[in-house]
Structure formats: structure tokens, C-alpha cells
Amino acid sequence: MRQVTVTIPDEYYDNLVQFLKPIPDTFIDNSQEEYNRSIEKMVLERIKNAKPEDYISWEESKKRLHTKWNK
């Protein structure tokens, strides 16, 4: 048995899965997709709960990164 990893555009995913399902002993691992959904849910929750004082400007962010990585 062989294992293949394929990266395809989202719009082709469902068609590919439907094509592969009838093949005996085929396992389709959706863990990355589920992981991505959980990350998206977490980020959206954080955005929803963020307060204006939690945000910093892009200029301030660049300055902090520069300070951190250019010691």
C-alpha cells in the first residue's frame, strides 16, 4: 500500500474525495482541515473578545519586532 499527500485548491477537494471513496482500503485524513477550522474558530473568538486597547498600530508592531530580533 502507498501513501500520497496532495495539495489542491479548495474547490477541487470534494470532487477528489468523492473520486477516492470507492477505492477499497482508502483512508482520507481530514485532520488538517479540522485543525484549520479549530484555529479559525479560536482566532474569530479572540477577535470578538478583543478590546480596542489590545490593538497596536502596524508601526508599533514593526518597531517591537525590530527591537526583539535585532538585539
Q: What is the pLDDT along the chain (71 residues), one digit of tens a residue?
A: 888 888 899 899 999 999 999 999 888 887 777 788 889 999 999 999 999 888 899 999 999 999 999 87
Contact 26, 20 (CB under 8 A): yes
pLDDT for 54 equals 86
Name the grid cell of 53.
486597547
Name the grid cell of 69.
530580533
pLDDT for 14 equals 92
pTM surpassing 0.85?
no
Contact 66, 58 (CB under 8 A): no
Contact 16, 6 (CB under 8 A): yes
